[in-house]
Amino acid sequence: MRLLGLSVLMACLTLFNVARADVLAVDSPAPVFELHDQNGESHTIQDYQGKWLVLYFYPKDDTPGCTTEACAFRDEYKVITELNTQVLGVSVDDQESHAAFAEKYSLPFPLLADTDGIVAKSYGALASLGPVKFAKRHTIIISPEGQVKKVYRSVNASRHSKEVIADLKALRAEQAIF
């Protein structure tokens, strides 16, 4: 009986992992979205066709790790934009929270309010602790054609922007070869 229970558990975990992998398999189309930023402006994935897109999910505005990550992207923003890339931060915080966070740290990129968590869920980045929902610290690099090219599920907030830049350069070089 114990072996049967373990088998059922393993089957469920396998199904969960397969379903999640299917959502964001490299070279698959990135899930579509439409969210509003800290200024109330609408953003869709289609708005960024022809550009690389760094979509980074983070748990909460103005917390230590999230501030470190956002400020690192801010500090590297010129380098990132020179790579024909746009950065978008996404959390379940609302527009007002994003506006205060962006102003406090002079963030030059949009912070998207995913208050219901639907977009975070579609990218495999939604978590919850009881009734509290939040975005996990995950990042997705999306190609100019709208395909998922890199998925980061383990992120070090202080080094992540440099890792993203290195991977963007490698992905762009790979694309130039073909």
How many residues in the chain?
178
Instruction: Determine which one of 30, 45, 66, 90 is catalytic.
Output: 66
**Active site (annotated) includes residue 66:** yes
Residues 6+ apart with CB under 8 A from 178: none
Q: Tokens for 24, please give them.
A: 């964001």
What is the enclosing helix (H) or strand (E) of 53?
A: strand 52-57
Q: Is 85 exposed, middle or buried (0-12, 13-18, 19+ CB in 10 A)?
A: buried
Q: Which residue numbers are catalytic? A: 66
